[in-house]
Structure 1
Amino acid sequence: MQQHDDPKTEKQIEYVTLVAGAQNFCIEITQIREIRRWSPATLLPHSPPYVLGVINLRGAVIPILDLAAKLGFSAIVPTERHVIIITAIEERIIGLLVESVSEILGVSADMVRETPKTEEDAATRAVEGIIPAGDDMIKIISLDALLPATLDTAA
């Protein structure tokens, strides 16, 4: 039996789309552990402004970061309508406060466009690609570039 290479069966990458700083972003679904409602975090002294504190997640202490503030946008004022995306980067578990989570988006690798080269800083390095979606652009977040090995570096 002969198999045909069908472009529709090309391997798709799945992303969870989200809104932070009134902008559309996405994170690869394999890096997300869970999505939960906002719950107040315990503040940590001398934390960078984008670190909201820590929460207890089934016995584990998880740092919570304001994704919009980390990316250089206005900080999110958390309400019960906001969500925390629990992410896993290697062995580190980190929560990201976002305005909302939209959908799961499956795209082929050829749909991802390179991020235009501009003045580079931590926030621009964190966008590893762009997916055109109609009149909008969904920016792909690289958690490895966005989140340093330690959280004590400035934004």
Structure 2
Amino acid sequence: MNEFAQRLPLAGEELIEVRIGDQQYAIDIMSVREIRGWTTSTPLPHAPAHVLGMINLRGAILPVVDLGARLGVGSTTPSASSVVVVAHIDGREVGLLVDAVCDIITVTEGLLQPPPDIGDQGVREFVRGVMTTEGGIVSLLSLDSVLPAEVAAQAA
């Protein structure tokens, strides 16, 4: 089995499709704990630019990361229609701000393809695979790379 196939969800597993701006991304559903509407966050002093702040999630303090800013595709301006995807990443809960949750995708044989090789290893670190759906091309994110332990620690 090649390196690409070893890192991908198996046929029958599900992904959550989210939208950031005009781009579609997928997150492994097993990483998602809940989906909630946007609530104003409290800023964290000296936090990285992609960390919006923190919110109270049933008594637990949860850092909120602007996923678009972290991916380098532009900051998301939070609005009443924005969504926070609460994900379990590298042993901790983190809120990911996105514009919308669009769909649930069931992985089928041959759906996922390797990301294009553009000579930049960063793309392959952040994107585990790409797929074509009725809505266009969707990139499957590697949350462990998007928020590695040291970045998640800065956010927390």
The TM-score range, normalised by the shorter chain, is: 0.7 to 0.9
Unaligned runs of 5+ in 2: 1-9
Q: Distance in 2 between matches of 1:89 and 1:23?
A: 22
CA–CA distance in structure 2, aligned partners of residues 62 and 123 of structure 1? 27
**Structure 2 counterpart of 1:23, one-letter code:** Q
Question: Residue 6 of structure 2 aligns with which residue?
Answer: none
The aligned length equals 144
Residues 50-129 of structure 1: matches in 2 within 5 Å?
Answer: 50-120=50-120, 122=122, 124-129=124-129
Q: CA deviation at 1:89?
A: 1.8
TM value normalised by structure 1: 0.85
Percent identical across equivalent pairs?
35
**1:125 deviation in Å?**
1.6
- Per residue, is there more helix in 1 or in 2? 2
Q: How far apart are residue 115 of structure 1 and its match? A: 0.7
Higher gyration radius (CA): 1
- Once residues 149 and 57 of structure 2 are traced to their aligned partners in structure 1, the CA distance between those partners, rounded to angstroms, is 20
Distance in 1 of aligned mates of 2:20 and 2:84: 11
Deviating runs (4+, > 6 A) in structure 1?
A: none
5+ long unaligned stretches in structure 1: 1-9
Q: TM-score, normalised by structure 2?
A: 0.85
User: Which deviates more, 102-111 or 63-72?
Assistant: 102-111
RMSD of equivalent CA atoms:
1.9
SS in 1 for 2:48: coil
